[in-house]
Amino acid sequence: MADFKDEISPALIGALANELVRAWPEFPAAAFAGEAGDGLERLELMARVRHVAAVLGRHLPGDFAAAAGVLDAALTSPSFTSWMTLPCGFFATEYGIEQPELALPLLARLSPRFSSEGPVRPFIERYPDLTMGFVREWARDADDHVRRLASETTRPRLPWATRLDRFVRDPSPVIELLDVLRDDPSEYVRRSVANNLNDISKDHPELAVATARGWLNAGGEHVQEAVRHGLRTLVKKGDPDALALLGYERSAPVRLDEFVVTPPQVAIGGEVALSFTLVAEGGPTPVVVDYLVYHAGARGARGAKVFKLTTRTLEPGKPQRIRRRHVFREVTVRRLYPGSHRIEVQVNGRVLGGADVELVEP
C-alpha cells in the first residue's frame, strides 16, 4: 500500500500547475513544478504539503486578494480537486493569516474539494471571536462538506493537528455548534460531531454525558447513533454514567465462563483465539463487551488497550459463546516487546476475568 505522502507527488504538482494556468494564464507552471518537486522525495506528508504551499506563495500573485482570486477561478474546474487542493488551503493560511475575512471564506470554498479543518485552526487561535462567527455560519451551510468543516475544525484534540487548548479548557463554544449539527441529515457530518463529542469526553466526561443526555431528550432520527459513537471512549473506560445513558448497567449480574486464549505462547506478528461464554444471571441483560490487552513494555506492563468486541442482549438461561481472533501486530504508535501479555474480558465496563499470553520473538 502506498504511503499517504506519495499523494503529493511530482505528477500531482504538474496537474496542479495545469489547473492554475487555466485559472491564471500568467502562472509560471514550469518554474513552479520544478521548484515544488525539488527535494520532495525526502519529505513526509505534511512537510510536502507545506513545501508546496510555500512554493505557491512564491509564484501566485503577491497580493493575497489577487491570489485568492486565482484559486477561486481554479475552483470552477471540477479537475481542481482532492489532494492538489490541500497545499492551497495551507497557502491560504500562511499568506492570508493577516486577512481572515478573505482567507476564511476561501477555505470554506476549498473544503468540498479537500477538507480545510487543519488550515482553519490557526485562525481560531489568532482570531477566536471572528473565526467562530464564520464557523457558526458554516454549521448552517447547504453543503455538507462545509457543515462538517464547522465540527471538524473545532475538535479540541483533532489528530494530526495542533491541539486547541482554549477548547480543551472550555468546550462550551464547541458544544453550541454540535447542538446545531447533532442530527444532521449527512452521516459524514454526524460522524464528525460524534468524534468531536468524544474529544470533549476525554477532558470533561460529565459535560459530555450531560450534552449527550440533552440530545437524547431533544430527540432526532440519528441522535442515538451520534451519542453512541461520541461516548465510545467513556464506555471503554467503564464510565457508569455513559453506560447507563446508553442502557447498560455496570453492575448487571453477568457471569464469565470458560475463558480460553490459545495458544498460550505466540510470536510477535502471530495471533491468538479468544473464546468465552457469558451468562445472564437475572432477566434479559443488554451488554457491551470489550477486551483489554496489557502489552508488555520496555519497563514493565503498559496500560490497557481496549478493543471493541460486541453489543447484544443476554437472555437468562441461554449462555452465549463469543469468539474473536487477536493479532499481535506492531503499528506505528505501538512497538511490541516479548513477555507476558494480559488479556481481560470487560462487560459493561467491569472486568470479569482474564488470561496471560507469552509473546516471543519470531
Residues 104, 15 share a domain = yes
Burial 317-340 (b: 16+ CB within 10 A, else e): eeebebeeebebeeeeeeebeeee
> Taking Cα atoms as reference points, which of 287, 276, 280 lies closest to residue 249?
287
Residue 189, pLDDT score: 98
φ, ψ (nearest 5 deg) of residue 200: -60, -35
- Sign of the dihedral defined by the CA atoms of residues 95, 98, 104, 105, in that order: negative
Number of other residues whose CB lies within 10 A of the CB of residue 263 = 11
Residues 197, 308 share a domain = no
Residues 274, 152 share a domain = no
Residue 2, pLDDT score: 57
Structural domain of 334: 254-360
Residue 1, pLDDT score: 44
Residues 263, 191 share a domain = no
For 10-34, how does the pLDDT look when each residue is reduced to its tens digit (9 = 90+)?
999 999 999 999 999 999 999 999 9
**Residue where one domain finishes, among candidates 220, 245, 270:** 245
Quote the CA–CA distance of 284 and 271 in Å, as a whole number: 33
Q: Which residues of the chain have pLDDT under 70?
A: 1-2, 332-333
Residues 295, 216 share a domain = no
Whether 50 and 57 have beta carbons less than 8 Å apart is answered as: no
**Residue where one domain finishes, among candidates 245, 262, 294:** 245
Whether 206 and 245 have beta carbons less than 8 Å apart is answered as: no
CATH number of the domain bearing residue 330: 2.60.40.10
DSSP secondary structure letter of residue 315: P
Q: How many domains does the chain have?
A: 2
Residues 328, 217 share a domain = no
Residue 335, pLDDT score: 86
* Rg (alpha carbons) of the chain, rounded to whole number: 25
Whether 240 and 206 have beta carbons less than 8 Å apart is answered as: no
Residues 266, 238 share a domain = no
CATH number of the domain bearing residue 51: 1.25.40.290
Residue 3, pLDDT score: 82
Residues 302, 208 share a domain = no
Please tell me the pTM assigned to this model.
Answer: 0.90
**Residue where one domain finishes, among candidates 245, 268, 296:** 245
Residues 76, 46 share a domain = yes
Query: Amino acid identity of 70?
Result: V
Residues 264, 240 share a domain = no
Retrieve residue 231's grid coordinates.
461516548
Residues 34, 141 share a domain = yes
H helices present in the chain, as ranges: 10-23, 29-37, 45-59, 64-74, 86-96, 100-110, 117-126, 128-138, 144-152, 165-169, 172-181, 187-203, 205-218, 223-230, 232-236, 240-245
Residues 277, 228 share a domain = no
136 three-class SS = helix
Quote the CA–CA distance of 182 and 187 in Å, as a whole number: 10
